Structure 1
Amino acid sequence: MKLQLAGPLTRLGGLIALAVFVLDQATKIGVMRGVDFGESGIVPVAPFLDLVVVWNTGISYGLVPLGTEGWWVLALVQLAASAAFVFWLARVDRRLEAVALGLLIGGALGNTVDRAAYGAVFDFLSLHAFGWRWYVFNIADAAIVAGIILLIYDSFFGHAVKSPPSNES
């Protein structure tokens, strides 16, 4: 397996990473600047979805909170992971793997920008049903979870189906 920095699967993963990053940052800025949370701090959007404001100083879903002073530790970890995913992306030979890595890269970079800009990650989506609430998250978080699920699926089932070879050099 060779390193293809400009191969079609690398470009696919890169475009997905860019799309996730832009969508994540655009939604965060839109919610921060355009939503009036009023006294309650909650804006109902649908029977199962609210907009809220949560500043996550920890790892996924607020685990291991480091406070706003420790933002750089998690930002460095996210940047290192992103670099490793980019290297991995340059070596993929399956479309699903490229998509998954693009989701992971875009999500990690989206949350890294938050940490650098604000000292914490801005989470605002709150899903709930039947009295049960999920952790508050953002687009980057959803992309990371989807990327992990796709990589797990690909590790079990993806090796049987490789993407067709490219005529590009």
Structure 2
Amino acid sequence: MFDRLPPRAFGLAAAFGALALDQAHKFWMLHVFDMAGRAPIRLAPFLDVVLSWNYGVSYSLFPAHEGWARAGLLVAQGAIVAGLAAWMLKSESRLTATALGLIIGGALGNAADRLTRGAVADFFYLHTSLPVGPLANYVFNVADVAITAGVVLLVIEGFFSPGERPREGNG
């Protein structure tokens, strides 16, 4: 059944799935579980559940508290999503299309937060006291997991898919 579906169907399913899962999780955490009214919850010595508002991009770079700055981030995000969507729709690989769909869905989930809440809601706090660089303190959400999974799939495909072979001869 799935063998007849074009790659873009896998990509669109991944995008809609990532977006829906992210938004459902955020709705539940904010409006049902009421994470804003709770103290951080320790899941493991290195992982807590918290509520953190990110006004910028990854690691709170380029914070956008003002409307014009937030609009600028949304325009940039929209351009990136459009480029990734064009790539996904042209892709002949189901893995590439799925990976791009995960990235697109995650980006749309964070963009939806920026549009509706003014900032991105993050809930998972990964931390350590070891001096291991930026991962010593990292707060993320389901959308970020989808984006990361998509990037990892693209890297894996890049390493393990048969690529063009160099031509033999003098060139």
TM-score (norm 1): 0.80
Kept after mapping to 1: 8 A contact 2:30/2:36: no
CA deviations 1:145-167 (Å, max 9, x no partner) are 2212222232333244xxxxxxx
Q: Mark the CA change 1:16 to 1:38 in structure 2 (over 3 Å): closer, same or farther.
A: closer
* Cα displacement (A) at 1:131: 6.2
List alignment gaps of at least 5 residues for structure 2: 164-171
Equivalent in the alignment of 1:64: 62
* Cα displacement (A) at 1:76: 1.3
> Could you say what secondary structure the match of 2:139 adopts?
coil
Equivalent in the alignment of 2:104: 105
Q: Mark the CA change 1:44 to 1:86 in structure 2 (over 3 Å): closer, same or farther.
A: same
Q: 1:20 aligns with which of 3, 18, 21?
A: 18
In 1, distance between residues paired with 2:142 and 2:37?
25
Moved more, 15-24 or 64-73: 64-73
Kept after mapping to 2: 8 A contact 1:97/1:151: yes
* Cα displacement (A) at 1:24: 0.2
Q: Structure 1 segments of 4 or more deviating over 4 A? A: 36-40, 129-133
* Cα displacement (A) at 1:130: 6.3
Aligned ranges 1:1-169 → 2 under 5 Å: 8-37=6-35, 41-69=39-67, 70-128=69-127, 133-160=136-163
CA deviations 1:80-123 (Å, max 9, x no partner) are 11111111111111122111101111001000100000111111
Kept after mapping to 2: 8 A contact 1:17/1:107: yes
CA deviations 1:128-148 (Å, max 9, x no partner) are 456684411001111112212
Question: Which residue type is aligned with residue 161 of structure 2?
Answer: G
Aligned length: 155
> Could you say what secondary structure the match of 1:135 adopts?
strand
Moved more, 122-131 or 10-19: 122-131
> Could you say what secondary structure the match of 2:90 adopts?
coil
List alignment gaps of at least 5 residues for structure 1: 1-6, 161-169
Equivalent in the alignment of 2:167: none
Q: Mark the CA change 1:105 to 1:35 in structure 2 (over 3 Å): closer, same or farther.
A: same
In 2, distance between residues paired with 1:12 and 1:107?
15
Report the aligned-residue RMSD. Answer: 2.3
Moved more, 39-48 or 17-26: 39-48
Q: Higher Cα Rg: structure 1 or 2?
A: 2
Equivalent in the alignment of 2:169: none
TM-score (norm 2): 0.80
In 2, distance between residues paired with 1:94 and 1:39?
45
Kept after mapping to 2: 8 A contact 1:57/1:68: no
Question: Which residue type is aligned with residue 41 of structure 1?
Answer: A
**Identity in percent:** 42
